[in-house]
Structures are given as structure tokens and as C-alpha cells.
Amino acid sequence: MAEKNRVKAVVEALTEHGAEVEIPGRPGSRSPAVGEPTEPAGPLPPKPDQRGPEPRTPTGRRDGIPPEANGQGGEFLTTAQGLRVRDSDHSLKAGARGPVLLQDHHLREKITHFDHERIPERVVHARGAAAHGVFKGYGTASAVTRAAFLGKDVETPVFVRFSTVLGSRGSADTVRDTRGFATKFYTDEGVFDLVGNNIPVFFIQDAIKFPDVIHAGKPHPDREIPQAQSAHDTFWDFVSLHTEATHHTIWNMSDRGIPRSYRTMEGFGIHTFRLVDADGGTSLVKWHWKPRAGVHSLVWEEAQLINGMDPDFHRRDLADAIEAGAFPQWELGVQVFPDTPDQMFEGVDLLDPTKLVPEELAPVQPVGLMTLNANPLNYFAETEQVAFHPGHLVPGIDITDDPLLTGRLFSYLDTQISRLGGPNFAQLPINRTHAPVNDMLRDGMHQTAVHSGAAPYKPNSLDGGCPFFAGAAEGGYTEAPVAIPAAHKVREAPASFDDHFSHARRFWLSLTPAEREHVIAAYTFELSKVWEPAIRERNLGVLANIDPVLCQEVAAGLGLPAPGPSVPLAEVEPSPALSQLGGEWPVAGRVIGIVAGPGSDLNALRTVRRAILDGGMVPLVIAPNGAPLSGDGAEEIEAQRTFANARSVEFDALLVAGAPAPGDDAKGARDAKAGIAGTAVDPRVRLMLAEAFRHAKAIGGWANASAAIEAAGIPAGSAGVVLADEPRLVWEQITGLLARHRVWDRFPAA
């Protein structure tokens, strides 16, 4: 019943706020506008529809779509051939108790289709979530590229898929892993795909090693465990034998490996690309996505708990935020380097994807803004079937000879032919370019185009004229005519690729003490899961080449002696831009838990709830059970969570609205009866508060809230714990704390 009310509330709120605005780039779609006050419609249903005021069902199916588009037309159930079905619950049988007859075509069609519903998942990045949006160019890139979609105020529809790398399609979201950040720009000049990650470097320098690193990271082939994580022997075996992985690995062990949300991740194109301007001049660039919401992460215990509590945490967070109108935004930026023959910048080899150029040396220059403003309507049709490819380029954007990139240019099309069942997946709606297509590609599995004419070849003199080649002025793609130095065929890497530790050391030295503590804890956790002592020891040897403190701390955690470095420690300048900490960030979309009970001042609760909504955040009331809170004669307050199903990890901050009642927990009730101290506060509330405190989250309360906070073992006067008589004052201070994401002072190293 409560869920039904929640669905109703969301539908009403969306209808009210989303009726007037068309989503840019998606004609006919409706959603709240960017820049309008965001009003998350309170509690969110598990699967709401987000696009508009048209009549809809609670499960999200939309009316008003042409039947041929959604396969849901007409009022009768039919077979795939359009034949109306009289009964779909009983097979055709020889008598009610007799055998099923093979002649039942409807049975066979229904079961056969079901049997083939699944397609192979991606060989990597299988677990993902996606959204539609729009990219608007600033025009600032015009000096370095002729790419039209980067022109001033040019709007381009985009589809973005975020993913984990190692886990299978059904794995959990908050595992420690790299995240994919792949963007499809449907430009007027054809599709441009920016297929990046949330970490700016990669494990390997040459694509020929991709199967090795993935085989090492995936579950062990004998038992197929562990799922979706790197804390096992084969991963640590590989990265310690193959030390060019050191830089990427330390990023994974940092807070970057466990993002708070897809919305709070940076994105990186990693490789150096070549931009070509209107006069044919070239520059080298690295792509960066900068989230407007700031870069924030989970803490490891939180991430592990979430994997059990809500394995869909990131997927849900993205969809809910968009649903509520808190549209995630990223600025696209470029670091620009001169296109010199050596392709080096300040000693960094720009063709080595395990290296980055500090932003202090080459600032990221913003070139446009991306806003994600609509959820996919159908997971399979869109998120699963989308096919990205780093070779999908547009005029003005070209590749370099990074050997990792070259291998990728081969791999994606190859894998998609198998994953999507043939070569015609570019015809799927989600992959279809918005530019006219005249490609002379014909036939093949799942061909849906009905090509006419007799001459799919060029040149021809039939079919009313052969398509022309386009010159540069007509948008024809021209590879930058870069010189290829005379060389011998070799299987070798340049000497500059041999430095495997200096960039990892720079990353370590650039982190704040709290972040370093997390890195130490992550290495210690992961290596303690490694069974073979030799692999643990070998990894300590790698850490010694990054930094002696890192090595000693992890060695102490493993109970092993710390080795010394095997190469001289690099002299590097820290790059403060690599740290995530510092600054204040927008709080829209944050989730605030409010513990309340029958004894709470409901008027105060309403006021705070309203203030949270007005701040663009999501208030979730946590009550002893599912009954609405009422009793003061005013409108009752729905409880979105109960003491039984809430856990601290779902919230960015926790508020206590007075002294909550003991709830209906059997142990709590028994303890209370037995007069055991502290039991006036439900043990589940105490656990929530203790966890929120341990995870350095802001905690606030009013009226008698201090009783609950004390009962949770939180010392009086702790940083980031706000108690006051006036709920509004509490909330104001909590908002300030949220802008910094966590109460960093609570981490011991800080």
C-alpha cells in the first residue's frame, strides 16, 4: 500500500514538474528542465517511468508510442505473427490429462523465443547502467579541432553507459574495480564514441596483453570465484610480475576504485588523441570528463555492505537522480599538447597509456557540457545492445599510434559481431547514427534494412547515380597525414615505456593522509586474500618501489617483513589535482535518512523534510515499522524505510528526529523488558548511527536525539555531529558538511 502511494507521489510530482519541457535532442520526450529547481519527488519507486505526463502504468509502460516501435500495440494478445491468442496459459493437449501436442505452434513460438532471450554478455564491462542526454559545445575547441559538435552552442544527443570491468552482468555495483565511462555522441557528422574509464591510465601498454590482464582479473577458471573483484591470487600474480600495471593498480586501491556514484566520477579517454583544426593543423590531446557534483567515493566497509544491501546501488542512484530531475552533468575538457615528432610532453611519453600528464603542467580546458536527462526505456534494447568503438571518429578527431589504442580499434567490432549476432548491429535503434547512411554494406544476419537497387558497389553507373566521395569541405573524413618514421619490424616497446613506478609514486605523494590510509587498507585487504605467500611478498617488492611508508604499512598489516626498493625511488613533484579531497560541491541528489518514531515532533519533521527537498535532495523517513507517522491532526507522514530494512549505507547523512521508539525488534523489546541499559534506543538505530559515524558521515538531531547518539557510542562533541533544539539550524549545518562529502576529520590519519 505504501509503495502504491509512493508511485502515485512520484507520478504526480513528475507530471507537475515535467510537463512543459522537452528533452533537448529527444523530440517528443518530456522531463524536468536543466537548471530548474530540482525536486526529487520524495521516495522513489523501484521502477518509475520518467518521461512525461502521458498516461502510464505503474510499471512504466508508456502509451502513445506507435505499435511497431514497442511491439505492444492493439488490445489483444497476439502471436509474433499478429494472430490473436485465445489462451496463453494452457498447452494444446489430447484431453485435459493427456500429452501435449507438438502441433501447438503458439507454445513452441513462446518457449523458443524465451529460450533465446539472452545474448552473450560483454567479455568485459558486462555490468552496466546507462542514460540518455545532451552535449552542448562551448565553441572553445574550435581553435584545435574542426569537429562540428564541439562548436559553440551545438547540441548533440548522447547515450552514456557506465560499467564495472570484471564482474558478470548480475554482479554487484560497488565492488573495487575500474569503472567504464563510454559516451556515444550522435553528431550530424556521424557517431563519435569516447570509450573511457574513471581512471586515467591503464594496466598495460600494448593491446596484445589485454587477454592476459583480463584472464588474471576474472574469477579463477576452476571454481569461478571470486566474482567481480581483484582480491585473489591470479590478479596479484599478474600485476606483480608485470609491473607496468603498478600505476593503474594503485588507482584501483585508492578511493577511485569505489565511487560513491556514477554521477561523482571523473572520466578519462586515457590515450592521447590527435585533433585536426580547420586548416589541417594538428594537436595532441587527452580527454577528461569533470563531474559538476564533484568526485566522491565510498569507504570500503560501506561498499562491501552495499553489495549485500543493494547490489544495484549505482544503477539505482543514476536512474533515481535523473527521475527526480537532479540531472548529472559533466564538463568535457582537453589537455592540449603540441604535436611534436617525439610525441612527448614534459618528459611524459604521450603514447604510453600507463602515464598521465599532471593537470598542473597542462590544465584541462573545458570544451562543452554534458547533461544526462532521461533514463532508458528498455534495458535490453538500449543499455545491453549499445555498441561503442574507439574507432568511431568524426572529422577533426584522429587517433595516435598508442599500441593499446591500435589493438582496441580491432577488438570492439570483432567482439560485437559475436555478441550482437552478426554485422548489422549498427541498425539497432540505440546504435543508429543520426547522419544519413549510404554504406553499400549488404545482407548478413539480422539485416533489417530493405535495400533497393542493383548496384551496391562503387563505381557504378546504375541505380540512378553512384554516391559521391566527400572532400574535406563536404565533411569527408581525412586521416591526418602524419609521417611514419622509417623503421624495422620489431616486437619491442620504446625505452620510455620502461619506467613503471614514478607515476605511481607521484599519485601516492599527491594524496592526502586520509586517502593514503585508504590505499594502505585496500592493499592490505586485497593481499591478505592472496593465498600464495610468494605473491604477497612479490607485491610488497612492488610497493617498495612506490614508497617505503606504503610498503611498510602494508607489510605490517600482512605480518610480513618490508623489503627495500629494487630501483631508485623516483624524484617526482606531487600533483594536488590527483587528490579527490577539498572544495565544496553541489548536494543535489544526496539521500538523507531521518530516523523518526511516534514520539517525534511531526511538524519539525515536515519542515526538515521540505528543506531537504528544496535543496534538491531525497529525504527518506525511517520509522519503527511501515505505518505512516500521524497523530498531530495534520497530514500523516509516509515512512519510506523501517528499522528492519534500513541500513546506514543508503544515506549520505543521518538525522534523528527526537528520541526514536524501541521499534518492534524482538531482542530490543526483550532487552527493554529486562531493563538492559541503552535499550530505549532500538539496536538497529544504534547500529545505523554507529556505522554512519564510522563512515565519516554527517549526523544531526534535535529534541532528545542525543540519547540515541550516545547509545550508539558516539562521543559527545564529535566532529560532524550536530545537535540543536532548532531542527532548521541542524539541517543548515548538515548541508554545509554534505558539501564536503564526508567529515574527513574522523579518519584517524587526518
User: Is 196 an interacting residue with respect to ligand HEM (CB under 6 A)?
Assistant: yes
CA–CA gap between residue 269 and residue 279 (Å, rounded): 25
User: Is 404 an interacting residue with respect to ligand HEM (CB under 6 A)?
Assistant: yes
CA–CA gap between residue 724 and residue 525 (Å, rounded): 39
Q: Which one from 197, 373, 539, 545 is the annotated catalytic residue?
A: 197
CB of 174 to ligand HEM, least distance (A): 18
Residue type, 338: P
Burial degree of 94 (CB within 10 A; 0-12, 13-18, 19+)? exposed
Burial degree of 537 (CB within 10 A; 0-12, 13-18, 19+)? middle
CB of 588 closer than 8 Å to CB of 614 = no
Number of shown-chain residues binding ligand HEM (CB under 6 A): 29
User: Is 641 an interacting residue with respect to ligand HEM (CB under 6 A)?
Assistant: no
The yes-or-no answer on residue 438 being catalytic is no
Pick from 41, 158, 182, 605 the residue near ligand HEM by CB under 6 A: 182
What does the DSSP assignment read for 264-293?
Answer: G--EE--S-EEEE-TTS-EEEEEEEEEETT
User: Is 252 an interacting residue with respect to ligand HEM (CB under 6 A)?
Assistant: no
Pick from 149, 330, 388, 702 the residue near ligand HEM by CB under 6 A: 388
Q: Nearer Cβ to ligand HEM, position 104 or 206?
A: 206
Q: What is the DSSP letter of 108?
A: H
Stretch that binds ligand HEM, among 191-199, 542-550, 581-589, 592-600 (CB under 6 A): 191-199
Pick from 122, 132, 184, 263 the residue near ligand HEM by CB under 6 A: 122
CB of 195 to ligand HEM, least distance (A): 5
**Binding-site string for ligand HEM from residue 350 to residue 379, where x marks contact by CB under 6 A and - marks none:** ---x--------------------------
CB of 414 to ligand HEM, least distance (A): 8
User: Is 218 an interacting residue with respect to ligand HEM (CB under 6 A)?
Assistant: no
The phi, psi pair for 245, rounded to 5°, reads: -80, -5
User: Is 407 an interacting residue with respect to ligand HEM (CB under 6 A)?
Assistant: yes
Instruction: Give the residue from 118, 115, 111, 117 showing the smallest Cα distance to 79.
Output: 111
The phi, psi pair for 261, rounded to 5°, reads: -160, 155
Pick from 187, 197, 400, 406 the residue near ligand HEM by CB under 6 A: 197
- Give the residue at shortest CB distance from ligand HEM: 180
CB of 397 to ligand HEM, least distance (A): 16
Q: Nearer Cβ to ligand HEM, position 159 or 744?
A: 159
Pick from 387, 521, 637, 661 the residue near ligand HEM by CB under 6 A: 387
Stretch that binds ligand HEM, among 78-86, 102-110, 316-324, 415-423 (CB under 6 A): 415-423
CB of 165 to ligand HEM, least distance (A): 8
Stretch that binds ligand HEM, among 404-412, 504-512, 523-531, 578-586 (CB under 6 A): 404-412
The yes-or-no answer on residue 197 being catalytic is yes
Q: What is the DSSP letter of 718?
A: -
- The partner residues of 289 in beta bridges, in order of sequence, read 267, 332
Which cell numbers hold the place of 170?
548480475
The residues, any chain, with a CB within 8 Å of residue 521's CB and separated by 6 or more, are: 300, 557
User: Is 412 an interacting residue with respect to ligand HEM (CB under 6 A)?
Assistant: yes
Stretch that binds ligand HEM, among 410-418, 493-501, 668-676, 727-735 (CB under 6 A): 410-418
Query: How far is CA 687 from its chain centroid?
Result: 29
Q: Nearer Cβ to ligand HEM, position 268 or 508?
A: 268
User: Is 288 an interacting residue with respect to ligand HEM (CB under 6 A)?
Assistant: no
Q: Nearer Cβ to ligand HEM, position 124 or 685?
A: 124
Q: Which one from 17, 106, 125, 247 is the annotated catalytic residue?
A: 125
User: Is 270 an interacting residue with respect to ligand HEM (CB under 6 A)?
Assistant: yes
Q: How many CB atoms lie within 10 A of CB 422?
A: 13
Interior/surface letters 107-138, b for 16+ CB within 10 angstroms, e for the rest: beebeeeeeeeeeebbebbbbbbbbbbbbbbb
Determine the 3-state secondary structure of 326 from DSSP. coil
CB of 126 to ligand HEM, least distance (A): 8
3-state helix, strand, coil in the chain (%, to 5): 30, 15, 50
Interior/surface letters 484-502, b for 16+ CB within 10 angstroms, e for the rest: eeeeeeeeeeeebbebbbb
Q: What is the DSSP letter of 90?
A: S
Which cell numbers hold the place of 237?
600474480
User: Is 336 an interacting residue with respect to ligand HEM (CB under 6 A)?
Assistant: no
CB of 417 to ligand HEM, least distance (A): 10
Q: What is the DSSP letter of 244?
A: G
CA distances for 378 relative to 61, 65, 535, angstroms: 10, 13, 44
**Binding-site string for ligand HEM from residue 126 to residue 165, where x marks contact by CB under 6 A and - marks none:** --x--------------------------------x-x--
CB of 218 closer than 8 Å to CB of 166 = yes
User: Is 195 an interacting residue with respect to ligand HEM (CB under 6 A)?
Assistant: yes
Window 198 to 217, contacts with ligand HEM (CB under 6 A): 202, 207, 210
Window 676 to 735, contacts with ligand HEM (CB under 6 A): none
CB of 196 to ligand HEM, least distance (A): 5
CA–CA gap between residue 541 and residue 525 (Å, rounded): 17
What does the DSSP assignment read for 490-527?
Answer: -S---GGGG--SHHHHHHHHHS-HHHHHHHHHHHHHHH
Pick from 125, 127, 176, 590 the residue near ligand HEM by CB under 6 A: 125
Instruction: Give the residue from 736, 639, 663, 650 showing the smallest Cα distance to 691.
Output: 650
User: Is 247 an interacting residue with respect to ligand HEM (CB under 6 A)?
Assistant: no
Q: Which residues bind ligand HEM (CB under 6 A)?
A: 122-125, 128, 161, 163, 180, 182, 195-197, 202, 207, 210, 270-271, 353, 386-388, 404, 407-408, 411-412, 415-416, 419
Which residues are catalytic, by number?
125, 197
